[in-house]
């Protein structure tokens, strides 16, 4: 804190009193805790351009000019050039002209700092003192012209372009001055660079991007026009991922750039990336609604909207997967997008929406797609246009796959597997719904067990018949000696502690496989039934305690026991019958599966091993698959 305050005292003192006595400055300097390599008095004088104090310090100790700042290793010349102190730079050149080529930690000379800050007069002064400083590159291989273009200092660039050989320093690099000028939107600089080196417009940086790519991604319309005016074919240039300038404009949602490129070349709208994506695909992926609306309104997108990417996804698949409700509605109403197109996994857009029913956005999309005629893949007939289209595309891809080395081979399934793929996708959805149902059942059992525990606990603290309020028996149950009360207490306690056991087990055990989860649910479900039964018995016993001495209520109690017990017994019998039928279906399903897996004739050892491997790979769910027609199963 002392150091910071003292440093501010230094700067203020130089502004307010340039001829301040050095003795006072020395006194302040002693108050500072720690000091950098550069004397603080010298540092403060250079920061504010106090030439008289600077010269006085130099007369005291000329070696002070060799000092640099602690971290950046900047010399006095670097600081004076950076902050634009022309008079101080002039004095430094007189004292130490070799400092013009001095380098700091980033290997930058004072000329780099002057160009970056746009100090034209200092640039002239430094170049006149040592023209070789123009050829020095920093640690990033950036020349003084490069940093001036990046900072948008037009006056400095104009002066440096008198030394046209500076651009030859960028011939071995990837990123040129035109790249950074185009990215920064510096139109005047870009024009001057194109006049000197028009070939820089075709140069690619490390990502394969041309200056046009960068201008389009940043939305610089004027520079885009200049580059397209120079060479309209630049609109078809692709970066390392196959993206054209139109793709980048769509990714960033730059509608004015889209209009400029399409007015120059409509063919660029049909170009795809290495992932098979059109400009529509990347616009949907990045949720650029305005770009999609412009492309749909300006182009004939009848064919474009149904072009699949490498995974077979149309733009409707992508919009549905991202839960873009507004975009989905727009595409369905304003384009001829195929609502039942199948991707490589055999999913329609409706399948994609239903794969994440826990999301509220997906729930909104499902009725929208269904109203537009959307169907699940399992509902499409084999002769439907969607099925024929994917089969035809599979045949074409089978012969053209060698022409596109970037195409992922794992995404190509033979057409003969289409039906199996559809069945597999349907099975995946059913398994997901079944697993979700099991998790919901687990949560429900936990909630019910907690409720039973709360009810039975309250009944145990406040027993039927009440407790004595005074006398020697205060706090004891009034009906504690009666048989119905004893039955009540036994059943109530059993219900309480059984429900607590259920809660403890369910919150302590986290099964991550289906079979252990089913066993856990089966066990806790049966215990819950016992707990509910004991709670019902406790209720009947408690009712009997408080009404058994009332005249005319005996028949009511008999009816209560009959109705309550009968309902529970009927429900238990009905669920038991359902469970027995389910077990029978499982047994028959397993028997049929075993017969299918058993070969009718003798096979070789290799075929047996292949069948065993296939059996391991195909996971089955006997509860789900044996009850597929019913849609439910007890446990």
The 3-state secondary structure of 396-445, one letter per residue? HHHHHHHHCCCCCHHHCCCHHHHHHHHHHHHHHHHHHHHHHHHHHHHHHH
- Residue 423 is predicted with a pLDDT of 56
Q: Are residues 246 and 338 in the same domain?
A: no
Mean pLDDT for the stretch of residues 306-334: 92
Q: Which of 485, 518, 549 is the last residue of a domain?
A: 549
The total number of residues written for the chain in this structure: 635
Rounded to 5 degrees, what angle do the CA atoms 80, 86, 92 make? 60
Does residue 463 belong to any structural domain of this protein? yes
Does residue 21 belong to any structural domain of this protein? no
What's the rounded Cα separation, in Å, for the pair 248 and 217? 5
Task: Give percent above pLDDT 90 in the chain.
Answer: 43
Q: Is 175 exposed, middle or buried (0-12, 13-18, 19+ CB in 10 A)?
A: buried
Residue 2 has pLDDT above 60, yes or no: no
List of residues 6+ apart from 514 with CB closer than 8 A: 434, 435, 438, 621
Tokens at residue 371, please?
């109203």
- Residue 626 is predicted with a pLDDT of 56
List of residues 6+ apart from 558 with CB closer than 8 A: none
Residue 396 has pLDDT above 50, yes or no: no
Query: Up-side HSE of residue 96: CA atoms within 13 Å toward CB?
Result: 19
Confidence of residue 6 (pLDDT cuts 50, 70, 90): very low
Domain count, the chain: 4
- Across-strand partners of 467? 477
Q: How far is CA 572 from the centre of its chain?
A: 49
Q: What is the pTM of this model?
A: 0.59
Cα Rg of the chain (Å, integer): 41
Residue 151 has pLDDT above 80, yes or no: yes
- Across-strand partners of 477? 467
Q: Are residues 203 and 214 in the same domain?
A: yes
Q: Are residues 614 and 528 in the same domain?
A: no
What's the rounded Cα separation, in Å, for the pair 211 and 200? 8
Residue 437: φ, ψ to 5°: -65, -40
Burial annotation 86-101 (CB, 10 A radius, 16+ → b, else e): eebbbbbbeebeebbb
Confidence of residue 55 (pLDDT cuts 50, 70, 90): very high
Does residue 444 belong to any structural domain of this protein? yes
Does residue 129 belong to any structural domain of this protein? no
Q: How far is CA 503 from CA 437, 449, 517, 605, in A?
A: 19, 6, 15, 51
Q: Are residues 582 and 620 in the same domain?
A: yes
Q: What is the pLDDT of residues 119-131, one digit of tens each?
A: 999 999 999 999 9
Residue 421 has pLDDT above 50, yes or no: yes
Q: Are residues 447 and 528 in the same domain?
A: yes
What's the rounded Cα separation, in Å, for the pair 305 and 132? 58
Rounded to 5 degrees, what angle do the CA atoms 189, 193, 197 make? 175
Residue 290: φ, ψ to 5°: -60, -40
Does residue 401 belong to any structural domain of this protein? yes
Least-confidence region, from 318-322, 370-374, 450-454, 619-623: 619-623
Residue 105 has pLDDT above 60, yes or no: yes
Residue 595 has pLDDT above 50, yes or no: yes
Helices (H) and strands (E) in the chain, counts: 29, 0
Least-confidence region, from 48-52, 96-100, 537-541: 537-541
Mean pLDDT for the stretch of residues 483-492: 88
Confidence of residue 566 (pLDDT cuts 50, 70, 90): confident
Q: Are residues 486 and 532 in the same domain?
A: yes
Q: Which of 277, 298, 319 is the last residue of a domain?
A: 298
Mean pLDDT for the stretch of residues 446-463: 89
Does residue 6 belong to any structural domain of this protein? no
Does residue 227 belong to any structural domain of this protein? yes
What's the rounded Cα separation, in Å, for the pair 100 and 96? 8
> What is the enclosing helix (H) or strand (E) of 25?
helix 22-31
Does residue 595 belong to any structural domain of this protein? yes
Q: Which domain holds residue 439?
A: 434-549
Q: Where are the beta strands (DSSP E) in 442-595?
A: none
Q: Are residues 571 and 584 in the same domain?
A: yes
Q: Are residues 578 and 535 in the same domain?
A: no
Q: What is the pLDDT of residues 235-264, one digit of tens each?
A: 999 999 999 999 999 999 999 999 999 998
Confidence of residue 103 (pLDDT cuts 50, 70, 90): very high
Residue 19: φ, ψ to 5°: -100, 25
Q: Is 495 exposed, middle or buried (0-12, 13-18, 19+ CB in 10 A)?
A: buried
Q: Are residues 347 and 379 in the same domain?
A: yes
Tokens at residue 189, please?
């600089």
Confidence of residue 329 (pLDDT cuts 50, 70, 90): very high
Q: Are residues 581 and 533 in the same domain?
A: no
Helices (H), ranges, 235-324:
245-252, 255-264, 279-285, 289-298, 315-321
| Cα–Cα nearest to 495, from 460, 465, 468 | 460
Residue 414 has pLDDT above 90, yes or no: no
Q: How far is CA 264 from CA 92, 108, 208, 326, in A?
A: 54, 42, 22, 30
Q: Are residues 502 and 521 in the same domain?
A: yes
What's the rounded Cα separation, in Å, for the pair 270 and 447? 57
Tokens at residue 399, please?
């012969």
| Dihedral sign computed on CA atoms, order 252, 256, 257, 259 | positive
Q: Which of 498, 523, 549 is the last residue of a domain?
A: 549
Tokens at residue 425, please?
């996708």
- We report the CATH number of the domain holding residue 272 as 1.25.40.20
Q: What is the pLDDT of residues 352-370, one digit of tens each?
A: 988 876 666 777 888 899 9
Q: Are residues 354 and 378 in the same domain?
A: yes
What's the rounded Cα separation, in Å, for the pair 189 and 294? 31
């Amino acid at each position: 804190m002392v150091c910071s305050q003292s440093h501010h005292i230094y700067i203020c003192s130089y502004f307010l009193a340039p001829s301040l006595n050095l003795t006072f400055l020395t006194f302040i300097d002693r108050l500072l805790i720690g000091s950098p390599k550069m004397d603080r008095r010298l540092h403060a004088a250079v920061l504010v351009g106090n030439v008289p104090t600077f010269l006085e310090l130099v007369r005291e100790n000329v070696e002070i000019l060799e000092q640099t700042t602690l971290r950046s290793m900047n010399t006095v010349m670097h600081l004076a050039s950076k902050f634009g102190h022309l008079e101080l730079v002039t004095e430094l050149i007189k004292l130490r002209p070799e400092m013009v080529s001095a380098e700091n930690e980033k290997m930058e000379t004072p000329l780099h700092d002057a160009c970056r800050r746009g100090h034209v007069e200092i640039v002239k002064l430094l170049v006149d003192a040592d023209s070789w400083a123009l050829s020095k590159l920093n640690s990033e291989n950036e020349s003084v012209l490069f940093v001036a273009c990046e900072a948008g200092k037009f006056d400095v660039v104009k002066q440096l372009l008198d030394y046209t050989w500076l651009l030859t320093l960028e011939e071995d690099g990837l990123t040129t001055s035109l790249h950074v000028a185009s990215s920064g939107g510096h139109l005047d600089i870009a024009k001057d660079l194109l006049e000197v080196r028009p070939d820089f417009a075709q140069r690619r940086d490390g990502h394969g991007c041309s200056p046009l790519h960068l201008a389009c991604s940043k939305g610089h319309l004027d520079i885009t026009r200049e580059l397209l005016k120079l060479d309209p074919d630049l609109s078809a240039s692709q970066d390392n991922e196959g993206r054209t300038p139109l793709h980048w404009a769509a990714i960033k949602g730059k509608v004015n750039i889209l209009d400029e490129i399409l007015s120059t070349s409509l063919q660029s709208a049909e170009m795809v990336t290495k992932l098979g994506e059109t400009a529509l695909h990347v616009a949907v992926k990045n949720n650029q609604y305005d770009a999609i609306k412009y492309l749909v309104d300006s182009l004939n997108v009848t064919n474009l909207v149904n072009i699949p990417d490498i995974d077979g996804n149309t733009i409707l698949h992508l919009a549905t997967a991202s839960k873009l409700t507004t975009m989905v509605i727009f595409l369905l109403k304003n384009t001829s997008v195929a609502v039942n197109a199948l991707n490589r996994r055999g999913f329609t857009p409706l399948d994609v929406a239903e794969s994440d029913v826990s999301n509220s956005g997906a729930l909104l999309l499902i009725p929208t797609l269904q109203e537009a005629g959307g169907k699940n893949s399992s509902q499409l007939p084999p002769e439907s246009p969607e099925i024929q289209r994917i089969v035809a595309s599979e045949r074409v891809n089978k012969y053209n796959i060698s022409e596109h080395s970037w195409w992922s081979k794992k995404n190509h399934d033979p057409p003969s597997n289409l039906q199996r793929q559809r069945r597999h996708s349907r099975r995946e959805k059913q398994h997901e719904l079944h697993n979700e149902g099991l998790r919901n059942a687990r949560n429900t059992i936990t909630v019910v067990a907690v409720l039973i525990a709360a009810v039975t606990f309250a009944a145990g603290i406040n027993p039927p018949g009440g407790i004595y309020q005074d006398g020697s028996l205060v706090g004891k149950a009034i009906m504690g000696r009666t048989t119905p009360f004893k039955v009540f207490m036994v059943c109530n306690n059993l219900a309480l502690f059984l429900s607590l056991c259920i809660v403890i087990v369910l919150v302590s055990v986290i099964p991550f496989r289906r079979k252990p989860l089913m066993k856990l649910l089966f066990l806790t479900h049966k215990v819950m039934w016992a707990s509910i039964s004991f709670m019902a018995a406790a209720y009947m016993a408690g009712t009997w305690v408080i009404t058994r001495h009332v005249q005319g209520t005996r028949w009511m109690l008999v009816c209560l026991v009959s109705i309550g017990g009968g309902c529970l017994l009927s429900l238990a019998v009905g669920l038991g019958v359902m469970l027995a039928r389910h077990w029978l279906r499982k047994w028959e399903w397993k028997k049929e599966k075993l017969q299918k897996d058993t070969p009718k004739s003798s096979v070789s050892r290799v075929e047996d091993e292949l069948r065993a491997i296939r059996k391991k790979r195909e996971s089955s769910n006997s509860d789900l698959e044996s009850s597929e027609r019913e849609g439910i199963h007890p446990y």
